[in-house]
Amino acid sequence: MTINLTSYTVCHPQELYLDNLVIQYHNKFTSKESQACFLIENLDGGSWWSYVTHEFAEILTHLKQLSIESNITYRPFPEQTKLTLQTNLKKYFLDACDIDTTLPKEKQRPIIILLWDVNRLLWHRMRRQWEDLLSTTRTRLIVFVDDLHFTSKLMFNSRQFIFQSVATEILATYPYLFQNYYTDISPSKIIWVPHAASTLTNRTINETAENVLFVSGASMRDWYPCRAHGFDVCRKRKDLASCLNHPGYGPTMMKSNSYYYGGERYFSYMRKYVFGLGTCVSVHYAIAKLFEIPANGLVLVTTDDMVPILKSLHLNQDEHFLTINCSSISSLKNEIIRIQNMSKENLTQIRQKSQEIVYQRHLTKHRAELIHVRLLSQALLATPAPAEGNIQWEQWGRNCRPRPVRWFIVPLIHLFIMDTSEGTEKERIPPPSHSISSSSSSTTFSRRRFFKLIFSFFGLQISYLLWGLLQERIMTRPFDGEKFTNSQFLVFVNRCLAMILAYSLLKIFYPTKKLTSSGPPLYRYGIISYANCMSTWFQYESLLYISFPVQVLAKSIKTIPVMIAGKFVSGKTYPLRQYLLMFLMAIGILLFFMGYNENDSNTLTAKKPKHNITTFNGVFLLICYLAFDAFTSNYQKQVFDRYSISSLNMMFFVNSISTILTLTSLIFNGTLFECLSFMHRHQAFSMYVFATSVCSAVGQLFIFSTIEEFGPVVFTIIMTMRQAFSIILSCLFYGHQLTLFAIFGIHIAFLAIFLHAFIQFKRSKPMNNNIV
């Protein structure tokens, strides 16, 4: 049997960029009356609620919810008219969409049909009706298919006809096997929609689980020989395996409580065990158990034939699952004993890592998002559009390269980045470079990317260089002889302005998106907000005790606390060279401290001894800043990985909570009105605070867009250069003096930083960037 894994990919949910596609859809279909008509079979789940873990029913109900959130209407198939071989398909679907059957084709709305039950009828016996429907209407048919095998020649003929002659697109759980069953169907017509785990699974690890193998499902020896051996072991060795019989499909499964099948009952039952068997070695199907087992905190145990398939889905052998020899009952017994004797620590790591991957990529809601993307893409393809747009929509959800976000300064983007020579209709989100086939278009796109990089570079440099200079001015210099020392007020103003900016952009660029916390629970945003507020407060407060160049250089080596936090917060491991680079950075900062000489007393507050580079308080505040900053970035990365949310959404909720926290603290401490009074007395101070907040908010947007477009490595290099420039500007503007010893230390520290970035760049794959 031939397995073709090279033609198919499954994108990370963040790489679908659903919000961007919804914008393009509403730009094309500006009113409800002009929108495409979507007809979804079993939109409420239908008979699929009898399918073991309710997987397909969940996908369909998630799809319905996505349509509501996108302000797009998904309709079920008409219930009042039964679909039979005698049904007039054209009238059936036009009536379902409330489209006048007498309208000519060019005046009709597009009809996008999702046929979920491919075995519903013998479709080849309705050939003429399908031909009439497709030739006289703007209909596109998307077909979903699970099992590829067929039990009769009639079933094969029906499927072959619908796949080859009618379907615009095929959503398949096992596309890598398609050519073994059906002929003359191009891989470009097929989308990989793998099985998935339910969102009802319990995302915890049962530490008291029994150290045995859980075996469940239908015991059919021809189809599932390894599972059949597992049932044999269950009958003889209760210390090795525990089995759960399959009750059959339909009403039996939905009503019987004795089998523990169906949704949460099934998941709670399997969580009693450490290991779970999932394999279909006879036909190499990547069945749903491959995702349900790790989602519920068990170690997935499978066979060698699944290794390349699971690797394509970002699950790696011995890291996310184990393989066994299941050729006989005796070999299975020996293999179970082998894995039972593995260290508990190793097994716990596998359970945690595999559960994390499934929750990031392989839940039913993720499959619904992919199907939603393909439905909207087909609607856009059904309308007249430039060639570039068609290629882009064809690839959306297939090719996992990220698409650029909508930048915040639209006129500047159109002036410096968008190529105004390409027609009159400009896409608000430019297509990816791979979608342009001609050399001239490729050159144009490369030029666009170059200008975007230049724009990002100067945007980040200007925003944060000004921010640093203004920050030092506010915290170290008096205003008409009076110094401002309330760092918390500055945090409040920064977060308030960033919240307003994020809200405005969400409303401008995502007008149909509901502004609700539909992703992470609010307490997760709260943790990020608190850590971020504390980080910024410690950063401002440290300037009362140390000079700005010292602070900048310390920030430049924050890789050290980030690595420490990554190890303890996220369980990451790092190669030896990163620890060596970390040591080199520490040497550089030590030399800088030893050679630094501060002669300008204006930069030292009354709290700080004159001519003393740091105090214990300054060092303590700086360490606290680095610790909170490292925790924030790692925890934020966890939230981005677990929940499919946009950067603007994160920016809005985090800054909203930060605004509330800082405002509450200012009110309870009785310092809010003192700060406002200070602003009233010193207009220059007000201008500096406002300018600092603007630079901070604009800088955040440049951060998000740069990382998404060019990746974290390019972003790190740009920001490292900014830190070096900051020290130079601070010395020029505020009179800090650097000895040769200190300059030598700076060079060593920044050399280590650039080496770290260069190694990352050499190891990274070109253009394989995710939002972080």
Per-residue DSSP letters for 395-427?
HBTTB-PPPPPPPS-HHHHHHHTS-TTS-S---
Structure tokens at 171: 């959503």
**Of 301, 327, 360, the domain-final residue:** 360
Contact present, 141 and 115 (Cβ < 8 Å): yes
> In sequence order, what are the residues at sequence separation of 6 or more whose Cβ sits closer than 8 angstroms to the Cβ of residue 308?
3, 5
> In sequence order, what are the residues at sequence separation of 6 or more whose Cβ sits closer than 8 angstroms to the Cβ of residue 438?
none
Q: What is the pLDDT of residue 398?
A: 84
374-to-140, 169, 243, 357, 358 alpha-carbon distances in Å: 11, 9, 39, 23, 22
- Strand 596-597 and strand 737-738: the pairing is antiparallel
DSSP state of 764: S
What are the beta bridge partners of residue 112?
38, 140
Residues 590 and 537 in one domain: yes
Per-residue DSSP letters for 289-309?
HHHHHHHTTPEEEE-GGGHHH
CATH code where residue 215 lies:
3.40.50.2000
Mean pLDDT of the chain: 79
CA–CA separation, 326 vs 332, rounded Å?
A: 5
DSSP state of 580: H
CA–CA separation, 243 vs 432, rounded Å?
A: 49
Question: Cβ of 610: how many Cβ atoms within 10 Å?
Answer: 9
CA–CA separation, 318 vs 84, rounded Å?
A: 50
Inform me whether the pLDDT recorded for 330 exceeds 50.
yes
Residues 100 and 145 in one domain: yes
Inform me whether the pLDDT recorded for 422 exceeds 70.
no
| Residue 643 domain flag | yes
| Residue 769 domain flag | no
CA torsion, ordered 379, 380, 384, 390, to nearest 10 deg: -130
507 compared with 504, residue with greater pLDDT: 504
Residues 601 and 708 in one domain: yes
CA–CA separation, 283 vs 220, rounded Å?
A: 13
Query: Taking the CA atoms of the chain, what radius of gyration do you get in angstroms?
Result: 30
Q: Average pLDDT in the 512-539 region? A: 76
> In sequence order, what are the residues at sequence separation of 6 or more whose Cβ sits closer than 8 angstroms to the Cβ of residue 343?
none
Angle among Cα 102, 107, 110 to the nearest 5 degrees reads 100
Contact present, 525 and 499 (Cβ < 8 Å): no
Q: What is the pLDDT of residue 142?
A: 97
405: pLDDT confidence band, cut at 50, 70 and 90?
very low
Residues 261 and 137 in one domain: no
Contact present, 692 and 470 (Cβ < 8 Å): yes
Structure tokens at 643: 């929940």
705 compared with 85, residue with greater pLDDT: 85
Inform me whether the pLDDT recorded for 224 exceeds 60.
yes
CA–CA separation, 621 vs 446, rounded Å?
A: 45
| Residue 659 domain flag | yes
Q: Average pLDDT in the 487-508 region? A: 84
> In sequence order, what are the residues at sequence separation of 6 or more whose Cβ sits closer than 8 angstroms to the Cβ of residue 204?
297
Contact present, 598 and 611 (Cβ < 8 Å): yes
Q: Average pLDDT in the 401-413 region? A: 41
Residues 538 and 615 in one domain: yes
DSSP state of 431: P
DSSP state of 280: -
447: pLDDT confidence band, cut at 50, 70 and 90?
low
Count of domains in the chain? 3
Per-residue DSSP letters for 647-682?
HHHHHHHHHHHHHHHHHHHHHHHT-HHHHHHHHHH-
Percentage above 90 pLDDT, the chain: 34
CA–CA separation, 377 vs 495, rounded Å?
A: 37
pLDDT tens string 122-168 = 899 999 999 999 999 999 999 999 999 998 999 999 999 999 999 99
Q: Average pLDDT in the 395-412 region? A: 55
The dihedrals phi and psi of 140, each to the nearest 5 degrees, come to -125, 130
- Please name the residue that has the structure tokens 């925790």: 631
Residues 188 and 248 in one domain: no
Contact present, 317 and 301 (Cβ < 8 Å): no
3-state secondary structure of 247: coil
The dihedrals phi and psi of 221, each to the nearest 5 degrees, come to -65, -35
Percentage above 70 pLDDT, the chain: 73
Contact present, 301 and 322 (Cβ < 8 Å): yes
CA–CA separation, 135 vs 90, rounded Å?
A: 10
610: pLDDT confidence band, cut at 50, 70 and 90?
very low
Contact present, 767 and 401 (Cβ < 8 Å): yes
Q: What is the pLDDT of residue 620?
A: 81
Q: Average pLDDT in the 15-23 region? A: 86
Structure tokens at 341: 């004797």
Query: Which range in 155-164, 467-476, 665-674 is most confidently predicted, on average pLDDT?
Result: 155-164
Residues 286 and 320 in one domain: yes
210: pLDDT confidence band, cut at 50, 70 and 90?
very high
Question: Which H/E stretch holds residue 737?
Answer: strand 737-738
Q: What is the pLDDT of residue 340?
A: 96
209 compared with 701, residue with greater pLDDT: 209
Read off the pTM. Answer: 0.59
Q: What is the pLDDT of residue 531?
A: 87
Q: Find the length of the chain.
A: 772
Task: Report the range of poorest mean pLDDT among 250-264, 469-483, 522-536.
Answer: 250-264
Inform me whether the pLDDT recorded for 673 exceeds 70.
yes
Inform me whether the pLDDT recorded for 770 exceeds 50.
no
| Residue 462 domain flag | no
Inform me whether the pLDDT recorded for 170 exceeds 70.
yes
544 compared with 292, residue with greater pLDDT: 292
The two counts, helices (H) then strands (E), for the chain are 27, 13
3-state secondary structure of 473: helix
Among 599, 612, 602, 481, smallest CA distance to 546 is for 612
- Please name the residue that has the structure tokens 């004159």: 610
Query: Which range in 32-46, 49-63, 297-311, 501-515 is most confidently predicted, on average pLDDT?
Result: 297-311
237: pLDDT confidence band, cut at 50, 70 and 90?
very high
Q: Which domain holds residue 626?
A: 487-763
| Residue 388 domain flag | no
Inform me whether the pLDDT recorded for 262 exceeds 70.
no
455 compared with 448, residue with greater pLDDT: 455
> In sequence order, what are the residues at sequence separation of 6 or more whose Cβ sits closer than 8 angstroms to the Cβ of residue 39?
75, 76, 77, 93, 96, 97, 111, 112, 113, 114
> In sequence order, what are the residues at sequence separation of 6 or more whose Cβ sits closer than 8 angstroms to the Cβ of residue 701?
407, 408, 501, 505
pLDDT tens string 627-655 = 887 787 677 767 766 665 667 778 888 88
Structure tokens at 622: 């700086």
Inform me whether the pLDDT recorded for 36 exceeds 90.
yes
Residues 294 and 157 in one domain: no
Residues 32 and 156 in one domain: yes
434 compared with 57, residue with greater pLDDT: 57
CA–CA separation, 296 vs 582, rounded Å?
A: 38
Ordered alpha helix ranges (H), 70-207: 89-96, 127-136, 153-161
Among 293, 297, 321, smallest CA distance to 309 is for 321
**Of 192, 220, 251, the domain-final residue:** 192
420: pLDDT confidence band, cut at 50, 70 and 90?
very low
| Residue 61 domain flag | yes
Angle among Cα 728, 730, 733 to the nearest 5 degrees reads 110
Q: Average pLDDT in the 105-125 region? A: 92
Residues 242 and 168 in one domain: no
The dihedrals phi and psi of 412, each to the nearest 5 degrees, come to -65, -40
Question: Which H/E stretch holds residue 360?
Answer: helix 344-361
Residues 256 and 321 in one domain: yes
Q: What is the pLDDT of residue 512?
A: 53
407: pLDDT confidence band, cut at 50, 70 and 90?
very low
Residues 533 and 658 in one domain: yes
Among 621, 619, 622, 618, smallest CA distance to 605 is for 618
| Residue 4 domain flag | no
Inform me whether the pLDDT recorded for 522 exceeds 60.
yes
**Of 313, 339, 360, the domain-final residue:** 360
Which of left, alpha, beta for 541 (phi over 0: left; psi -120 to 50: alpha)?
A: alpha
3-class DSSP string for 182-241: CCCCCHHHEEECCCCECCCCCCCCCCCCEEEEEEEECCCCCCCHHHHHHHHHHHHCCCCE
Q: What is the pLDDT of residue 716?
A: 61
Structure tokens at 694: 């603007």
Inform me whether the pLDDT recorded for 506 exceeds 50.
yes
Contact present, 413 and 407 (Cβ < 8 Å): yes
Residue 164 identity: Q
Q: What is the pLDDT of residue 475?
A: 76
Question: Cβ of 156: how many Cβ atoms within 10 Å?
Answer: 15
429: pLDDT confidence band, cut at 50, 70 and 90?
very low
Q: What is the pLDDT of residue 367?
A: 96
| Residue 115 domain flag | yes
pLDDT tens string 692-720 = 888 888 887 787 667 656 655 566 667 76
281 compared with 189, residue with greater pLDDT: 189
Q: Average pLDDT in the 194-215 region? A: 91
